[in-house]
Structure 1
């Protein structure tokens, strides 16, 4: 199962591989406490796209479109998709993010993008 989870949420054995998908580190939590499998900064939205969004839920559709375009153009995306496929072959994979808003963030967009591309 592929899922998303805030880095501040309690860690569970059901998380499986925990991959942090933000460009910037989450405040107030140590890397040891986060118990991440990896931190993949290169798959996160660019600083420009992230700052333009500014975590404003009203701007989420525009953010989603811009981030989807970046994912389509990112040379790291195909390898990341393959990595997720391999991880799912071993068990669960959780995309971990730091945003407070659990419905309007990059991990939500990335999860949908991966779900669309994992079947191709």
Structure 2
């Protein structure tokens, strides 16, 4: 999932379990919980931005049900307006303007994850 940002950079979403690629640019994990069975060295992260992860309540409610994705996105964007989270979103937007930004998640379906919602938000 790739897209153009209004700045110089681009944003893509990948699974954190995939091997880092040369074109990944800045790699940022956006999950609240560290991915099971993954070492920090293997993850190849530049940052772990837990502040933008959805609340435990929202994550539990959503449970990656594709039918709930639209409502999840609406609720999650609302959560991202809280001051600490908004600051983290601003930081990610700056990273995206500076070059390629890869948002990483452990979910098996990154296209219906918080990383996908974040990528869309950052691109607009």
Deviation at 1:82, TM superposition (A): 3.4
Count of aligned pairs between the two proteins: 115
Deviation at 1:77, TM superposition (A): 3.6
Q: 2:56 aligns with which of 47, 50, 56?
A: 47
Q: 1:29 aligns with which of 31, 34, 38?
A: 38
Instruction: Find out whether 1:17 has 2:31 as its counterpart.
Output: no
Normalising by the residue count of structure 1, what TM-score does the alignment of the two structures yield? 0.87
Give the Cα–Cα distance (whole angstroms) in 2 for the partners of residues 89 and 105 of structure 1. Answer: 22
How far does the alpha carbon of each residue in 1:77-118 deviate from its partner, in whole angstroms, 9 at most, with x for none? 4432432343234421111111001321110111111112xx
The alpha-carbon distance between structure 1 residues 86 and 110, as it changes in their structure 2 partners (threshold 3 A), is closer
Instruction: Find out whether 1:96 has 2:96 as its counterpart.
Output: no
Q: 1:110 aligns with which of 99, 106, 118?
A: 118
Deviation at 1:13, TM superposition (A): 1.4
2:80 counterpart SS class: helix
Root mean square deviation of aligned Cα: 1.4
- For structure 1, the 5+ residue unaligned runs are none
Normalising by the residue count of structure 2, what TM-score does the alignment of the two structures yield? 0.84
The alpha-carbon distance between structure 1 residues 91 and 28, as it changes in their structure 2 partners (threshold 3 A), is same
Contact kept, 8 Å, 2:28 with 2:45, in 1: the verdict is yes
Give the Cα–Cα distance (whole angstroms) in 1 for the partners of residues 12 and 39 of structure 2. Answer: 22
Give the Cα–Cα distance (whole angstroms) in 1 for the partners of residues 94 and 112 of structure 2. Answer: 27
